[in-house]
Amino acid sequence: MPYHSAPLDLAFHALSDPTRRAVVSRLVEGELPVSALAEPFNMALPSFAQHLKVLEDCGLIASEKRGRSRWCRLVQPRFEEAADWMEAERRRWTQRLDRLEVYLDNKEMGDDRQE
Amino acid sequence: MPYHSAPLDLAFHALSDPTRRAVVSRLVEGELPVSALAEPFNMALPSFAQHLKVLEDCGLIASEKRGRSRWCRLVQPRFEEAADWMEAERRRWTQRLDRLEVYLDNKEMGDDRQE
């Protein structure tokens, strides 16, 4: 399991901000020019650009210049890596709770028999 | 969708550190006293306690004193909330890619017909 993964550190750090999560969420629907991406946020463009830089540095998004606009898109592997980590832990947890339930059920039946 | 969620901010921030992810990962298997939890980490106890504090402040773990030990356990709702956010975005993304594939398949068939 990749516990000591700098990319994961950076990805989770990037997702710890509501503006950056909202950017990810918009780009899930498809690529967008920075101007359109920035529009719903009540934020100066340099501050918004700083958030995009955090997302780009950690590999969650990529951008490219097309004519006079810069377009952003989500990059799947980094997002999948973070989502996979969460899901793997959730699955282990659910499995443990299931085992615990079976154990308690069996114990209860055993207790019933002894009464 | 909870984009502007301080709890989510804190949960993702907590998960942006490899030691804290490893703590979460160990507690998935069940509750542990701090001493046992700290054992695999080559870290001074005050530094480790600081990591536990970050996890506890954001509600990912809880701890309680029992006799001379402090025991830690994972707290499900906060972890689920973060995992749910990731999964919801991943699902939307997968659906978009599926729609895109159908569109491109249809377009290709249309192109074939016109040849």
SS3 A94: helix
The pLDDT assigned to A114 comes to: 64
The pLDDT assigned to A58 comes to: 93
The pLDDT assigned to A66 comes to: 95
The pLDDT assigned to A3 comes to: 44
The pLDDT assigned to A101 comes to: 82
Number of C-beta neighbours around residue B72 at 10 A: 22
SS3 A70: strand
CA distance B115 to chain A (A): 30
Burial (0-12, 13-18, 19+ Cβ within 10 Å), B55: buried
Kindly list the residues of chain B whose beta carbon comes within 8 Å of any beta carbon in chain A.
Answer: 1, 3-5, 8-13, 15-18, 21-22, 24-25, 28-30, 74, 76, 79-80, 82-83, 85-87, 89-90, 92-93, 96
Mean pLDDT of the residues in chain A: 89
B82 to A80: CB separation less than 8 angstroms, yes or no: no
B8 to A21: CB separation less than 8 angstroms, yes or no: yes
The pLDDT assigned to B3 comes to: 44
The pLDDT assigned to A70 comes to: 95
Distance in angstroms (rounded) separating the CA atoms of residues A70 and A67: 8
- Between residues A33 and A76, the one the model is more confident about: A33
Q: pLDDT class for A97, splitting at 50, 70, 90?
A: confident
Q: pLDDT class for A113, splitting at 50, 70, 90?
A: low
Q: Give helix A6-14 / helix A76-114 axis angle, nearest 10°.
A: 90
The pLDDT assigned to B105 comes to: 84
The pLDDT assigned to B98 comes to: 84
Consecutive 10-residue runs of chain B (115 residues): their mean pLDDT? Answer: 70 96 95 95 94 96 95 92 94 87 82 67
ipTM: 0.84
Distance in angstroms (rounded) separating the CA atoms of residues A21 and A14: 8
A93 to B82: CB separation less than 8 angstroms, yes or no: no
Q: What is the DSSP string of B86-98?
A: HHHHHHHHHHHHH
